[in-house]
Chain A
Amino acid sequence: EVQLVESGGGLVKPGGSLRLSCAASGFTFSSYSMNWVRQAPGKGLEWVSSISSSSSYIYYADSVKGRFTISRDNAKNSLYLQMNSLRAEDTAVYYCARDRSTVVTTIDYWGQGTLVTVSS
C-alpha cells in the first residue's frame, strides 16, 4: 500500500523558514517523480513543485520560485521542501504527492497533508 506521510508543518513568522518532509513507503520511491501541492484554507489546489525520480528535472511554480527548494533522498525514501522567506499567502495545507512514472505527468497518490501557517 502506497503511503505518504508529511511532517514539519507549523506556525512561523513572516520571513521565516520551514522544512517539510515526506516519508514514502509501499513502493519503489526511486522510480517515481514526486510533487508538492498546497491548498490555502477554503481554496483550491495549487501545484508548488515537482522533482523527477533521479532529481534531474526540477520545477517550481512562479509563486515560490527563488524561495522554495525541493529535494529528495532516494536512499531514505524521503521528499523535502525547504521554504524560506515565507509570506502570509504561503499559509496552506501542503500535500506530498506521487507521480505515476519517473517523469512528471500525473499525480496518483497523495499524503494527508501538513498545515503551514505564516503569521506574526
Chain B
Amino acid sequence: QSALTQPASVSGSPGQSITISCTGTSSDVGGYNYVSWYQQHPGKAPKLMIYDVSNRPSGVSNRFSGSKSGNTASLTISGLQAEDEADYYCSSYTSSSTPYVFGTGTKVTVL
C-alpha cells in the first residue's frame, strides 16, 4: 500500500487561508469516507483535526475544514495563525489487506 500523496510544504501569512491536498486512489480516499487529518507539532503526538472527511472533533477550531472530491481530499485552514505552524498528515481507510494508509505529510509554515 503506497502512502497518500501530500505537498511537502505549504505556507501562508497570518489571516490567510491555505489548503493541503491528499491524493490517493479509488481503493482508499476515493472509496471511503474515512479520511482523517492530523496535526503534529515538533516533539508532540499527532492530534485528530478532521475525521470522516469533514467532521471536527469537539474542541477543534472551526477554522479547520475538510472536503473530498474523487480520489483527493483537502484540508483548509482559514484565518491562519502562528499556532497552526506544524506538520499535517492525512489518513484513509483502505480496502487492501492493511486497513490504514497515511499521507506523506505537509509542513505548514506561517510567514
Contacts and interface: CB of A to CB of B under 8 A. Distances in A.
Interface of A: 35, 37, 44-47, 50, 59-62, 95, 100, 104-113
B104 interface: yes
B46 A45 contact: yes
B57 A108 contact: yes
B23 interface: no
Contacts of A37: 102
Contact of A110 (B34, B46, B52, B105): B46
Interface range, B side: 20 to 34
B102 A106 contact: no
Nearest to B87: A44
Contacts of A44: 3, 89, 102-105
B89 A106 contact: no
Contacts of A59: 97-99
Q: Which of B1, B40, B47, B100 has the most CB of A within 10 A?
A: B100
Given A44-B103, A60-B98, A106-B48, 10 more contacts: A45-B89, A45-B102, A45-B105, A61-B98, A62-B98, A104-B93, A107-B36, A107-B38, A107-B100, A112-B44
A67 to B, nearest CB: 15
Cβ-closest 5 pairs across A and B:
A47-B100, A110-B45, A44-B105, A104-B99, A45-B102
A109 B98 contact: no
B45 A47 contact: no
